């Protein structure tokens, strides 16, 4: 069985932690493991093959790095040129797998969900396996714990009974309801939350696309066939991929198919679709308070206080039903009942062209990451962290010079024809226009402080001459 992990979303409802440049699936929202890593671990072990991952170009090295950190060797990683929703992504995965085994089972799962009991989830997958091999499109429905209006629902053909994992007929998909409808469905007992997780054979889902979404077949097939290998990734062809309709698999296939089966799951699940969900899934004290990171709560109730910076202390006094999330460059304060409206803040920041709307404070690159510490009119100070064995591109700048001060580890520095090692407490000057490169030859992360000075300090002032990561 091949796990197919979808990890291209932006998760704006968890702003400011989740942003377009570094969305929630790559963050450790609960515990020390990221949601993406936990998803990959949940679908690993006996009976599961290497995961096939669909993501975009910006996240490709984050995917490989995070899988490596938890000891998982990925299978294929397909790079989507642009987001076209889940239907084209699932079809691309199926067409890719069809080349090697048309009868193989594929388990499609978002990479940003929380499932505390991984063993119970694998048991639910096993319960649906026979139906999938018999040509059914199997989905997994979550036993609702409250009248949620943020999820779609699945109406069962019969009674859910004790909600034990077994294959049951699925009557229909239900769109996100209003509050009254959600209460009625919760009381009825035969409605489940739609988790967006699917199990089917490769040939079954391709046949379903041919029957219900035939217009997707040609552009997605061409995008796979004309895909270009790139450092172990497969870049789907951008021209043909752009011709595929932007549509979810629910709309394209599931709501039209008649070979549907659902497996109930009652062992705990959340898509962490808002900070209220993070509060629910976290360990709360006797007053219902969650204080994470450098956060202190004094006489607060039913509130979430979270700091993502050890040097930024968040203190709440007398708060009730309040969400507070602090990042180095942005702070969110919201009533818990308005958690789903955080996306309005992102829209407002985009309208005023604020970088905080989409850009994460740490800029992750294939070689490591950097963050800006101080920005002035003609200077900028950065902290740069380079992974062991990694190297930045050989490059030059038109508008700025740079000073590098190594504070941890050792850097191998190239400046024009001069190559030397720079150790802790040593520095080097990069004149404007000099061709230069920084490498970490050691076995521990290398940290340096970079001071830029010049008339223009944008990240696009880079001329690359050579790059091990094949970036243009």
* Cα 91 to Cα 93: distance, rounded to the nearest angstrom: 5
Tell me, yes or no, whether 447 lies in a domain: yes
**CATH number of the domain where residue 371 is located:** 2.60.120.10
Tell me, yes or no, whether 471 lies in a domain: no
Which of 31-35, 86-90, 93-97, 333-337 has the least mean pLDDT?
A: 31-35
Do 218 and 311 belong to one domain? no
Residue 226 sits at φ, ψ, to 5 deg, of -100, 15
Do 309 and 419 belong to one domain? no
Question: 437-454 pLDDT, tens per residue?
Answer: 999 999 999 999 999 999
Do 124 and 148 belong to one domain? yes
Whether residue 308 contacts residue 332, with contact meaning beta carbons closer than 8 Å, is answered with: no
With tokens 């510490």, the residue in question is 373
**CATH number of the domain where residue 247 is located:** 3.90.550.10
Over residues 347-351, mean pLDDT: 95
Q: Which of 235, 265, 295 is the last residue of a domain?
A: 265
- How many domains is the chain partitioned into structurally? 3
**According to the model, what pLDDT value does residue 9 have?**
73
Residue 311 sits at φ, ψ, to 5 deg, of -90, 5
Do 152 and 229 belong to one domain? yes
Do 348 and 424 belong to one domain? no
Q: Sorting pLDDT into bands at 50, 70 and 90, what band is 230?
A: confident
Tell me, yes or no, whether 357 lies in a domain: no
Domain that holds residue 124: 2-265
Do 248 and 336 belong to one domain? no
* Cα 243 to Cα 239: distance, rounded to the nearest angstrom: 7
Do 202 and 346 belong to one domain? no
Do 62 and 143 belong to one domain? yes
Tell me, yes or no, whether 193 lies in a domain: yes
Q: Which of 265, 292, 308 is the last residue of a domain?
A: 265
Do 260 and 342 belong to one domain? no
**According to the model, what pLDDT value does residue 340 have?**
87
pLDDT above 90: residue 335: yes
Do 453 and 400 belong to one domain? yes
CA dihedral 90, 92, 93, 96 (to 10 degrees): 160
**According to the model, what pLDDT value does residue 175 have?**
87
Question: 416-443 pLDDT, tens per residue?
Answer: 999 999 999 999 999 999 999 999 999 9
Q: Which of 233, 265, 297 is the last residue of a domain?
A: 265
Q: Sorting pLDDT into bands at 50, 70 and 90, what band is 405?
A: very high
Do 318 and 444 belong to one domain? no
Do 427 and 337 belong to one domain? no
Q: For residue 12, what are the CA distances in angstroms to 37, 82, 277, 359?
A: 20, 17, 14, 12
Tell me, yes or no, whether 252 lies in a domain: yes
Question: 181-195 pLDDT, tens per residue?
Answer: 999 999 888 899 999
């Amino acid at each position: 069985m091949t796990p197919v992990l979808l990890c291209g979303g932006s998760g704006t409802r968890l702003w400011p932690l989740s942003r377009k440049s570094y969305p929630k699936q790559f963050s450790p929202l609960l515990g020390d493991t990221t949601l993406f890593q936990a998803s990959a671990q949940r679908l690993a072990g006996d009976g599961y093959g290497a995961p096939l991952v669909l993501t975009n170009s910006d996240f490709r090295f984050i995917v490989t790095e995070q899988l490596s950190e938890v000891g998982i060797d990925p299978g294929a990683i397909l790079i989507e040129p642009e987001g076209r929703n889940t239907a084209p992504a699932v079809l691309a995965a199926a067409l890719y797998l069809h080349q090697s085994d048309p009868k193989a089972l594929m388990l499609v799962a978002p990479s940003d969900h929380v499932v505390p009991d991984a063993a119970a989830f694998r048991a639910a997958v096993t319960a649906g396996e026979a139906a999938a091999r018999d040509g059914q499109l199997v989905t997994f429905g979550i036993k609702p714990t409250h009248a949620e209006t943020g999820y779609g629902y699945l109406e069962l053909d019969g009674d859910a009974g004790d909600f034990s994992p077994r294959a049951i007929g699925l009557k229909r998909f239900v769109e996100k309801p209003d509050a009254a409808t959600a209460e009625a469905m919760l009381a009825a007992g035969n409605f489940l939350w739609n988790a967006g997780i699917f199990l089917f054979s490769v040939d079954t889902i391709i046949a379903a696309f041919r029957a219900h979404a035939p217009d997707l077949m040609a552009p997605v097939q061409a995008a796979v066939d004309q895909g270009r290998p790139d450092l172990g990734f497969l870049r789907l062809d951008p021209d043909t991929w752009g011709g595929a309709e932007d549509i979810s698999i629910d709309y394209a296939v599931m709501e039209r198919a008649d070979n549907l089966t659902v497996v109930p799951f009652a062992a705990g699940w959340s898509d962490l679709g808002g900070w209220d969900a993070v509060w629910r899934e976290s360990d709360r004290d006797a007053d219902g308070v969650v204080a994470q990171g450098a956060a202190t709560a004094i006489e607060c109730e039913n509130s979430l206080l979270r700091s993502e910076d050890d040097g930024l202390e968040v203190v709440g006094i007398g708060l009730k039903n309040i969400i507070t999330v602090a990042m180095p460059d942005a702070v969110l304060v919201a009533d818990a009942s308005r958690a789903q409206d955080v996306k309005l803040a992102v829209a407002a920041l985009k309208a005023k062209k604020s970088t905080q709307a989409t850009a994460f404070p740490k800029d992750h690159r294939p070689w490591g990451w950097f963050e800006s510490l101080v920005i002035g009119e003609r200077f900028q100070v950065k902290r740069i962290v380079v992974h062991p064995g990694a190297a930045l591109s050989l490059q030059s700048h038109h508008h700025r010079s740079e000073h590098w001060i190594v504070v941890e580890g050792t850097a191998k520095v190239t400046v024009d024809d001069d190559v030397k090692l720079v150790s802790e407490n040593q520095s080097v000057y990069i004149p404007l226009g000099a061709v230069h490169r920084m490498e970490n030859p050691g076995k521990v992360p290398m940290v340096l402080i970079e001071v830029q000075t010049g008339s223009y300090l944008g990240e696009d002032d880079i001329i690359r001459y050579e790059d091990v990561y094949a970036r243009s």
